[in-house]
A and B are shown apart, each in its own frame.
Chain A
Amino acid sequence: MNFESFAEMSARERLAAIVDAGSFHEWLPPSERVTSPHLAQLGVPAAFDDGVAIGRATLGARTVFVAAQEGGFMGGGVGEVHGAKLVGLLRRALRDRPDAVLVLAESGGVRLHEANAGLIAVSEVMRALLDVRAAGIATVMLIGGANGCFGGMGIVARCADTVVMSDIARHAMSGPEVIESAHGAGEFDSRDRALVWRTTGGKHRWLCGDCDVLLDDDAAAFRDAAIAALDAHRPMTLEALQLESALLQARADADGDNADAFELWSRLGVPEPRAVPDLDADALRPRRPAAAAALAQGAA
């Protein structure tokens, strides 16, 4: 089997690997020089695309809109222009009604250099994404970059119909170093990589139901998962939101005393929880139904 690591790719390489070959048409390409108005005065070089490429493409011969965040540039942080490009893409989707909007997310959240502008931008992205989802256009988050998907983008991800993650991807609100800075290494040791991954990594998210599809770190697998998600819709009804809330409460009840992920998996009935970090996605798959059933029972 010939794997091509999705994590190791740049945003533009990921775009090329996911959509139909040669089909990506970029809006506001680098030559337009729509760059951050804030970074120069802080002595930081801009990026010609402000760290995100947006455009339309075909995926399995169907029209999609797509955005790819570049984790190498400021950790994929969402600045004013970066956020405006995402919002513009989503609003255009409301007008043009593609089959889906895909976000190849890799972001630490708000770009702190652009503070308030970045915060507002992320909130606008959330609203625009929910509008697109409510309009019945499939919204798909593909999370597989080395920097994970954190902060405001972590929230954006959970606003989508479908979340796809690789086992080495991470998804959370506060990043490990943020938690350690605020609460100390005794609370969360950001240098303990095993702890970080079993608390924020793809396997944990998938076992707890935060992500819908778990993959190995393979670009072709991400493409297949994106095609499969083109018709996946999670309607935002009152009943669906109440069920989600009950599932979250069930998880919080199972967690109780801020258990380590191993302990939480054990309480959710995941077989051999200590073996989970060493399993690949295929081997882990049979272990989720037990956790899903335990959470559903807790929510009932």
Chain B
Amino acid sequence: MVGMESLQYSFDGGRTLAPFAPKLVGVVASGNLEVLVEPSTDTGCRIDVDTSARGFGPVWEAVLRDFHERHGIAGVRVAIHDMGATPAVVSLRLDQAIAAIAGATP
């Protein structure tokens, strides 16, 4: 069946970020994705993915687990709208989102 796939991941542990304003980076375009990062009352890091490319759950899990291990952040909700971005692009967008938060909260 053609259609979107929705995936949910949660990662526990890490340091809770100071309050920050929601940030959007990236664009839903071919080979690209948008990442919305918002503060959350959860202790962990929750990541929701809507992707036009079905069947890549294990790759998403690996990329997002790597993201969480590198940044170790908690109290964050991440929402992704993806249109077939490669794993490297996904990692870079996630890093960009974290950098944008850091820049917005002196």
Contacts and interface: CB of A to CB of B under 8 A. Distances in A.
B36 A45 contact: no
B27 A72 contact: yes
Interface of B: 2-4, 22, 24, 27-29, 32, 34, 36, 38, 50-52, 79, 81-83
Given A30-B24, A72-B32, A48 B3 contact: no
Contacts of A73: 27-29
Given A40-B4, A44-B52, A46-B50, A30 B22 contact: yes
Contacts of A49: 24
A92 to B, nearest CB: 22
Contacts of A46: 28, 50, 81
A23 interface: no
Interface of A: 10, 12, 29-31, 40, 43-49, 70, 72-73
Query: Which secondary structure characterizes the binding site on chain A?
Result: loop
A48 B34 CA distance: 8
Residue with the greatest number of chain B CB neighbours at <10 A, chosen from A30, A45, A48: A45
Given A10-B27, A45-B52, A72-B27, A31 B4 contact: no
A209 B29 CA distance: 33
B27 A47 contact: yes
B38 A31 contact: yes
A48 B50 contact: no
